[in-house]
Amino acid sequence: MNYNRGLALLILLALASIGALSLYLLRPSKLNHSGAQENRPGLIIESSPGAATVALPTSPAPSPTQNSLPQDQLQAPAGSSLFVRTAYSRGRPLHQICDPAEPVSAAILAQYGALYVSEPQLVLPSNCIPTRQELSEFSRRVVFENRTIDGIQVSFQKPALDAFMGAREAASARGLSIRPNGTNATLRDYETTVEIWQRNLQAGINVHGAAAGRQTELLSPDIRLSIAVVLDLEKSGLLLGSGGGKSILQVAAPPGTSQHISGLAVDIVEHEDAQVRQIMADNGFYQTIANDFTHFTYLGLKSDQLSAVGLAPREIEGRTFYVPVL
């Protein structure tokens, strides 16, 4: 009995030693890759026992909004739409930038959000309803380039400027022209977006007799409150855009939410010409705001990529708008 117990103890000890040795030998290697996960959020790190391999980044240039976020917030929540997943994969964690689960942000995203699935090297504000301060922070980390066209200065992020000039050349080669529609056709500052919003909103309020007594809230400097009241009124059929004929969100963007803030949008004179719209599309510019006929958004994508990033075609008056599917 004692002999058997002793033998069992020895076998147990031997097994434990083999186990400990195996764990030591199979521990994950830390050579070369230590710290990569914390410092380089664009990388995908795949681990297997005894080795770590580093895959190439899925996006060439992670957005600056990514850098301060923990790894688990860089992935779209389970069940997210293709559009939301694409935005995350391009370094734009939407639940921090423009939460699709929150009604006011979701309305902004549905109207103007196509930019979040644009080419990853394009820089976007860190909030889809930015304050003046957030917008000036954005302006400090993006480079805008200017050109003067027919006496009008245009300002874009460089890839958009190159694409716009390419579209103009292509049009010119076919005897057509593509011109910016007025002095506010491209980049706009915060104050300009406030002025455009209030002017259009006031027109809608006037048509509807002080908009059901909610004028003060509508014109509030609290932009989220203003948008919430617009959504509320429009849900009950009281449209505030274009003298009461359209949603105000399709006519003017609330302060700070305009795509023109980013240097990636342009309003053009020749938008009625289907050939011109095709040339714009060939150069990465699409109509992404339903019913905004003069407006084009630089996405930098080919037309056959649009559905794969979560944008859906919407036909309105013979044109195709590509809008986010949340």
Residues in 280-309 at the binding interface with Zn ion, rule: CB under 5 A? 295
> Alpha-carbon distance 187 to 146, whole Å?
10
Q: What is the 3-state secondary structure (H, E, C) of 79-148?
A: CCCHHHHHHHHCCCCHHHHCCCCCHHHHHHHHHHHHHHHCCCCCCCCCCCCCCHHHHHHHHHHCCEEEEE
Task: For the CB of residue 290, give the shortest distance to Zn ion in the complex, in Å.
Answer: 13
Distance of CA 195 to the CA centre of its chain: 24
Nearer to Zn ion, 214 or 295 (CB): 295
Task: For the CB of residue 184, give the shortest distance to Zn ion in the complex, in Å.
Answer: 8
Query: 16 Cβ partners below 8 Å, 6+ apart?
Result: none
Task: For the CB of residue 289, give the shortest distance to Zn ion in the complex, in Å.
Answer: 7
Task: For the CB of residue 29, give the shortest distance to Zn ion in the complex, in Å.
Answer: 53
Handedness of CA 196, 199, 200, 202 (dihedral sign): positive
Task: For the CB of residue 181, give the shortest distance to Zn ion in the complex, in Å.
Answer: 8
DSSP bridge partners of 152: 149
Q: Which residue is nearest to Zn ion (CB)?
A: 295
Nearer to Zn ion, 92 or 295 (CB): 295
Task: For the CB of residue 130, give the shortest distance to Zn ion in the complex, in Å.
Answer: 17
User: Which x/- pattern, by CB under 5 A, does the window 251-280 give for Zn ion?
Assistant: ----------------x-------------
Nearer to Zn ion, 192 or 215 (CB): 192
Query: 303 Cβ partners below 8 Å, 6+ apart?
Result: 281, 286
Q: C-alpha angle with apex 157: 154 to 161, nearest 5 degrees?
A: 55
User: Which residue pairs from 64-71 have beta carbons closer than 8 angstroms and sit at least 24 positions apart in sequence?
Assistant: 64/123, 64/126, 64/141, 65/91, 65/92, 65/93, 65/96, 65/97, 65/124, 65/126, 66/41, 66/42, 66/91, 66/93, 67/41, 69/41, 69/93, 69/96, 71/37, 71/41
User: Which x/- pattern, by CB under 5 A, does the window 216-255 give for Zn ion?
Assistant: ----------------------------------------
- In the chain, the DSSP E strands lie at 44-48, 51-55, 144-149, 152-157, 265-267, 285-286, 295-298, 311-316, 319-324
Q: How many residues bind Zn ion (CB under 5 A)?
A: 2
Task: For the CB of residue 293, give the shortest distance to Zn ion in the complex, in Å.
Answer: 10
Taking alpha carbons only, the member of 103, 155, 157 closest to residue 129 is: 103
Tell me: does residue 214 bind Zn ion (CB under 5 A): no
Which residues would be at the binding site for Zn ion (CB under 5 A)?
A: 267, 295
